[in-house]
Structure 1
Amino acid sequence: MFVVGGESLIDLVPTGAGADAERVALAGGSPFNCAIALSRLGNDTGFLCPISQDEYGDLLLTPLAENGVAVLLKDRVAAPTTKAIVTFNDKMQASYVFERGADRAFTREGLLAALPEAVTLYQIGGFCPILEADAAVWRDVVDQAIARGATVSFDINVRDKLVDDEAGYRARLSQFLDRAHLVKLSEEDHEWLEPGKSIETHATELLERPNCALVVVTLGEHGSRAFSRAAHGSAPIHAPPVFGDTVGAGDSLMAGILTWLKDNDRLGQEPMAGLTNTELDAMLGFGAVVAGINCGRKGCQPPNRAEVDAVLAA
């Protein structure tokens, strides 16, 4: 099973321009989105995050059930659902202000008990390093997933508005990076983490960590790049016929990359380390189609495998 651990939340998305625009509530959160995208692409997927008893919790459970994602924590929690207030710039790129709640309502014992006995892939959520109390628990979960056979992926997804202790956050982030076999980051993550450093240098430094074998960097409208220990590759975006917005684009791309790696028997530290230029280009191209189809819709609505295959065939 592919297991995604981390936050789910409700995106409160404006329906028009201006500060007074009405907002619609949409199920979201990067790990939540990625879990749904993975399942739509044909992967056996579980989601490891507490779900609130409130009405927004109902809104989160519905798409998980509709898309066949296993909810690994069965008992719902009293804490209110975490919320993200979304705004868009003139390119329809989203930014977020967060109100945290149920995503933190877990215990170490509960998470470890919910983890499947066999884990093919474990993905770390971007909120996991933000607070020390949370990070200590999630590190144990990651270590247990590794002990159960998991390849570990980490979509860094820096949320600087939630970071009150930058030095502590960077230290905790580093501990998760040392556990990850695949690291994905956006150009904005890169610039926040390593201002003034080239992407190539940053990727090389990540690959020098104990377990990292593959680094993926997304560049917005300029596509994406990937670096293995053997090669590097790139791919442009897949532009949909009609553009919606970019919500969930990175999560969809990540799901596409993980699916490509599994389907091509390249999921794992050694196989990923040896990926060639041609393979990296193909991997990113597959992910770009998944992300591009999603961007043709409003909100995060990743494609299913048939939709992706149809675009690739054309």
Structure 2
Amino acid sequence: MQGMFVVGGESLIDLVPVAAGADAERVALAGGSPFNCAIALAKLGNDAGFLCPISQDAHGELLLAPLAEAGVSILLGERVAAPTTRAIVTFNEKMQASYIFERGADRAFSREGLLAALPEAVQLYQIGGFCPILAEDAAIWTDVVAAAAGRGAVISIDINVREKLIEDEKGYRSRLSGFLDSAHIIKLSEEDHAWLEPGRSIEDHAADLLRRRHCRLVVVTLGEAGSLAFSRRAKGQAPIYAPPVFGDTVGAGDSLMAGILTWLAEHDALRPAELGELGSEQLHAMLRFGAVVAGINCGRKGCNPPTRAEVDIVLGQ
């Protein structure tokens, strides 16, 4: 089945320091993991749609501009009165980002509005990391996922644990588990793994995920150590692609995810049966493609994923 790649979940404004120190001036940058992934998918040549309310405020305008520039379909066209969700960003010595959140417009949706905005033809539906955080939101997003699956979509999720937003850990874990049960493709970082399954090996955790009803592919990012992938048949790995000049890691995981989904679609593997049968060489090639997408992004400040032409230049070297 062909159709749109739809990413559902949060968009927000990252308030990013321009220098080190708690009192540094901050610049407002468009962000949010699903927002970033939708843009990366479109820039790689996919028909991508973004399912998230956009505020009427000035920060909403800041979000709309890169979506439009990349060619992402904005599926909820009517702007909302709630203020744009904000993330106050700080960086550690490795320029890895951490966040404090003030939520607003990303939650200004209704079940009816989201379901009406979901396209009839959906090739892939990606679940955003904020979706399990609050029970009332998760109930609505669960229905959206079910509707996409009912239209034949492959379901993916980027877990993206945001510990500072989780006030009810037991409830969050239960709701996340429900989304994981729906997903064919599960991506997580080593930080997500350490929070979810402290003391366990990544291999054991991946094996558990692959035993869930629908899961056929697990991807784990390891920061500077690259990435791992597990299908029901094999394991693969790939190093990072280090750009000539380093910017920061904002949006790296989102770019990698978009690269993986693009590679799978282009190799006719974005179907449950094919996902589960991927061999180690295919998994390596998939991760390598994703690593180049992520690495080019890391050569810039903020999330600015590459075009397909930029990726092909690096892969051809």
The TM-score normalised by the length of structure 1 is 1.00
Take 2:59 and 2:195, find their aligned partners in 1: how far apart are those partners?
32
Match of 1:31 in 2: 34
Amino acid corresponding to residue 315 of structure 2 in structure 1? L
Match of 1:288 in 2: 291
Where do 5+ consecutive residues of structure 1 fail to align? none
Q: Does 1:43 align with 2:46?
A: yes
Q: Which amino acid aligns with 1:9?
A: L
Give 1:54 shift: 0.2
Query: Corresponding residue for 1:193?
Result: 196
Residue 279, structure 1, aligned to residue 287, structure 2:
no
| CA–CA distance in structure 2, aligned partners of residues 246 and 90 of structure 1 | 12
Does residue 7 (structure 1) correspond to residue 10 (structure 2)? The answer is yes
Aligned to 1:305: 308
Q: Percent identity?
A: 76
Stretches of structure 2 that go unaligned for 5 or more consecutive residues are none
CA distance in 2, matches of 1:71, 1:233: 35
Using the alignment, how far apart are the partners of 1:277 and 1:83 within structure 2?
A: 40
Q: Which of 101, 105, 108 matches 1:102? A: 105
Residue type at the aligned position of 1:149: G
Match of 1:264 in 2: 267
Does the residue aligned with 1:120 lie in a helix, a strand or coil? strand
User: Residue 32 of structure 1 aligns to a residue in which SS?
Assistant: helix
Aligned-residue offset at 1:149 = 1.1
Quick one: distance in 1 between partners of 2:98 and 2:259?
23
Count of aligned residue pairs for this structure pair: 314
| 1:18 counterpart = 2:24 | no
SS in 2 for 1:152: strand
Deviations, residues 132-181 of structure 1 (Å, cap 9, x unaligned): 00000000000000011100000000000000000000000000000000
Per-residue CA shift, 1:46-97, capped at 9, x if unaligned? 0000000000000000111111000000100000000000000000000000
User: Residue 88 of structure 2: which of 76, 85, 90 is its match?
Assistant: 85
Deviation at 1:39, TM superposition (A): 0.1
Distance in 1, Cα, partners of 2:197 & 2:260: 24
Distance 2:90 2:209 in 1: 31
Q: What amino acid does structure 2 have at the position aligned with 1:4?
A: V
- Determine the structure 2 residue equivalent to 1:62: 65
SS of corresponding position for 2:28? strand
- Select the residue among 210, 213, 222 that pairs with 2:213: 210
Which aligned runs of 4 or more in structure 1 are off by greater than 4 angstroms?
A: none
* Residue 268 of structure 1, CA deviation: 1.4
Deviations 1:198-253 (A, max 9, x none): 00000000000000000000000000000000000000000000000000000000
Q: Following the alignment from structure 2 to structure 1, what is the Cα–Cα distance between the partners of residues 221 and 100? A: 22
Q: Does 1:117 align with 2:124?
A: no
Matched residue SS, 1:62: helix
Say which SS state the counterpart of residue 216 (structure 1) adopts.
Answer: strand
For the residue of structure 2 that corresponds to 1:153, the secondary structure is strand
Q: What corresponds to 1:247 in structure 2?
A: 250
1:178 is paired with a residue whose SS is helix
Q: Which amino acid aligns with 1:71?
A: I
